[in-house]
Amino acid sequence: MRMIILKVILWPNDPTKKTRIIEFSPDKINIISGESATGKSAISSIVDYCLGSEKCSIPIGLIRSKASWFGLLLKLAHTEMLVARKNPGDQQSTSDLYLAEGLEVEIPEHIEKNSRVEDMKNRFNQIALLSSLDISPDENTNYGGRPSFRDMAAFNFQPQHIVANPYTLFFKADTTQHREKLKLVFPLVLRAVDSSTLLQQRELRDLEREHERLSRELQARQNAKNSWAAEIESYYLQALSLGILPESPSPNSDWNLDKYLIELQKLPGSIRKLDIPDMKEGTNEAAIKELNELIAEEDRVLLSLNTAKTRLGKIEQLSSSVEEYGNGLVKQEDRIQSIGWLESAIKKTYDCPMCGTTHSAENKHITDLIAIAGEYKALTSSVKSAPSKLDNEILTLRSELKELERNLSKVRQKKNYLESKSIEYATQKQSIRQIYLFVGRVEQALENVKSSSDSGELHIKLDRLQKRIIDLRNELDPQKQKAKLEAAIDLISRKITQYASMLKLEHSSENVTLDVNELSIRFNPVSGRKDYLWEVGSGQNWVGYHIAGLLSLHEFFLASSTSPVPSFLIIDQPSQVYFPEAWPSLEELPEGLEIDQPKTSADINGVKRIFNAFSSFIEATGGECQIIVTEHAGAITWQGIKHIHLVENWRQGHDDFLIPAAWLD
């Protein structure tokens, strides 16, 4: 993937200050040399952050306090791209991003967010022609997922804590997540697999899953067919007991499943011939409604009947009382019959026997008795006429009671009939429903048996899938992929050996190999023992093999026009193992130097061999890959070497440091 860093840009927090721009050459060994604490190591962190790092590793302090945005001007295959990312401040990172792409991109004085980090990653994934499919065919791995542009950062950065690390060869491979993902990425970047391979892996995985599903379905059908025998026999016996297969014989012991199926298939036609009564919808409901009405009518008749009975009882009691009362009156009337004689015997005028005087006044007592006798007579006459009236009322009530009793009898008869009819309807309806449900179950069972038996189409699908799976497995033959991977590793390992010899590293004759499983350099001495980089002593060897490994890999990447790895390499302080304390701060060794000149000369020569290796790499690749080195070492370590471009010298009296002095005012 063609990607060259043209400029590193820092925008100040103070808008009155000038933007800090550091320019790099596309096809050179770009060197930023300087003293400690000048910001050299921050260059790789700035580049990594601007290219989408999840966490900002730009050192806190002066740099983070003075810059508002960090940016890169990149040269791609056909365009330029300006990528700027906002200073996260107290956060670990921010998704605020400025993105501009064109044939020529100008650097604005002020930056405002116009995109997101995720958008930039997607754009780089597109440029790198990275597939959106999972890189690992194993879905159970925790470190799979699609290959990403960010995975390629492992090959672009050698920060100070990595370049001389015997245990970690690649950037961020010191964490488990990146380490395991890098193992999956290696076959892709070494061209043992490509996007079409990932597509075939995905297709194979989907076809295998479908084949497994259909195989389970076929087995389930076979199992179902085997289990239908007992169930089908049971259904046939039930049909015989229900009388819905009157023309079918009793089964024999030699009947097989097919014989039962033939007989049961007659069931739908047999049901139609049996003339099973059709229960009209709502029949039972209408009977229940009428029954409820009759129950209400019965209650009304009973109420009327009880009322009439009560009234009859009272009238009969009254009639008996009247009769007794009349008899009493008759006796009283008989007692006062003499009042009439006395009245006729006593004259209205009479002579006094004493004085002989004639009196005409009536006897008051006799008059009162006569009046009472008249009242008794009238009352007796009235009481004697009452029983006949009561008898008529009693006859009427008794007639009414008989009529009510007849009505009650009719209502109860009809009610009992409807009650029995409702039970009959319900029973009949339930029986018919059970028959039809049974027939439905039998038809479903017959359909299931047919489906389980009719597996020809399923066999055809499985055969077609199996053929395609075999073809894909042949195309994705692990042995072929392994052979491609081993061929690529062998080519890279030979390059590592060449660079190791150029750097005069120890063990360079011991069949040096890139081990993509251990993500390290492996040595294979003639003794048959396998040694790894962490088992080899000397910091010079550790740095040397890091450089030899990364240069060899980039030569391999550049040989392919479709490599997804960006074509730049940033190395921070490869001279640290030669000058662990500090660089002597001398541009040239003066005559008569009194310090440990032999050792100093050896160390300088060691660093010079590193720059010679870089120069050889630039020539071998035709300047297609950019190298950026941030160093303590001075010009004496690269004098006379081709393809050197001193970007800036961050020492007092020379160029500005990463944060210019003008920003500190």
The verdict on residue 602 lying in a domain is yes
Are 185 and 135 in contact by the 8 Å Cβ rule? The answer is: yes
Model pLDDT, residue 584: 59
Tell me, yes or no, whether 422 and 311 share the same domain.
Answer: yes
* Domain stop point among 416, 433, 450: 433
Helix (H) or strand (E) holding 267: helix 267-273
- Beginning with the edge strand found earlier in the chain, give each strand of the sheet holding 644-650 in spatial order: 157-158, 568-572, 626-631, 29-34, 644-650
> What range defines the domain where residue 411 resides?
283-433
Residue 444 lies in a domain: no
Q: Are residues 289 and 393 in the same domain?
A: yes
pTM of the model: 0.66
Instruction: With beta carbons less than 8 A apart as the criterion, state whether 626 and 2 touch.
Output: no
Residue ranges of the chain with per-residue pLDDT less than 50: 279, 347, 586-595
47 Cβ contact partners less than 8 Å away, ≥ 6 residues apart: 5, 8, 72, 157, 570
pLDDT digits (tens, 9 = 90+) for 613-623: 999 999 999 99
Task: Reduce the DSSP state of residue 461 to 3 states and report it.
Answer: helix
Helices (H) and strands (E) in the chain, counts: 15, 16
pLDDT number for residue 401: 77
Which pLDDT score is estimated for 586? 47
Last residue of a domain, one of 433, 468, 503: 433
Residue 279 confidence (pLDDT): 47
Contacts for 643 with CB less than 8 Å, ≥ 6 apart: 27, 28, 29, 614, 615, 618, 619, 623
Q: What's the DSSP call for residue 342?
A: H
Kindly write down the DSSP assignment for every residue of 367-430, as one continuous string. Answer: HHHHHHHHHHHHHHHHHHHHHHHHHHHHHHHHHHHHHHHHHHHHHHHHHHHHHHHHHHHHHHHH
- For residue 88, being part of any structural domain is answered with yes
188-199: buried (b, 16+ CB within 10 Å) or exposed (e) per residue?
A: bbbbbbebebbe
Of 433, 466, 497, which marks where a domain is finished?
Answer: 433
Same domain, 493 and 637: yes
User: Is residue 264 in some structural domain?
Assistant: no
State residue 573's pLDDT score.
93
Kindly give, in sequence order, each residue whose CB lies less than 8 Å from that of residue 79, ignoring residues fewer than 6 positions away.
101, 102, 103
Say if residue 176 is in the same domain as residue 288. Answer: no
Q: Are 633 and 583 in contact (CB under 8 A)?
A: yes
In this structure, is residue 636 part of a structural domain?
A: yes
Q: Counting every residue, how long is the chain?
A: 665
Print the SS3 string covering 642-659. CCEEEEEEECCCCCCCCC
Q: Are residues 417 and 482 in the same domain?
A: no
SS3 257: helix
Element (H, E) at 119: helix 117-127
306: helix, strand or coil: helix
Q: Which residues does 494 contact at the CB level (< 8 Å), separation at least 6?
A: none
| CB-count burial class (<10 Å; 0-12, 13-18, 19+) for 215 | middle
Whichever domain contains 390, its CATH number is: 1.10.287
Number of domains in the chain: 2
Residue 329: predicted pLDDT: 60
Q: Do 535 and 660 fall within a single domain?
A: yes
Same domain, 419 and 495: no
Sequence letter at residue 274: L
Are 484 and 592 members of one domain? yes
Pairing of strands 67-75, 115-116: unpaired
* Same-domain pairing of 421 and 487: no
Query: Which amino acid type is present at position 620?
Result: A
Q: Both 304 and 164 in a single domain?
A: no
**Looking at the structure, do residues 524 and 382 belong to the same domain, yes or no?**
no
22 DSSP 8-state letter: E
Q: Tokens in use for 421?
A: 């009819």
Please name the helix (run of DSSP H) or strand (run of DSSP E) that holds residue 431, with its range, or none. helix 364-453
- Count of CB atoms situated within 10 Å of the CB of 222: 13
Q: Residues with Cβ < 8 Å from 642, sequence gap 6 or more? A: 615, 618, 619
518/159 Cα distance (integer angstroms): 20
Determine, yes or no, domain membership for 274.
no
- Report the Cα–Cα distance between both ends of the chain, in Å, rounded: 42
Please indicate, yes or no, if residue 61 is contained in any of the structural domains.
Answer: yes
Say if CB 627 and CB 618 are below 8 A apart: yes
Q: What is the pLDDT of residue 405?
A: 76
Residue 613 CB neighbours (<10 A): 21
pLDDT on residue 136: 67
Residue 12 backbone phi and psi in degrees, to 5:
-75, 155
Q: Hey, is 115 helix, strand or coil? A: strand
The domain that holds 75 is classified in CATH as 3.40.50.300
Q: Are 453 and 224 in contact (CB under 8 A)?
A: no
What single-letter amino acid sits at 76?
L
**For the chain, percent helix, then strand, then coil, each to nearest 5?**
55, 10, 35
Residue 296: its H or E element = helix 283-335
Sign of CA dihedral 324, 325, 331, 333: negative
- For 267-387, strand residue ranges (E) read 350-351, 358-359
Residue 268 lies in a domain: no
- Indicate if 177 and 65 belong to the same structural domain: yes
Share of the chain above pLDDT 70, in %: 74
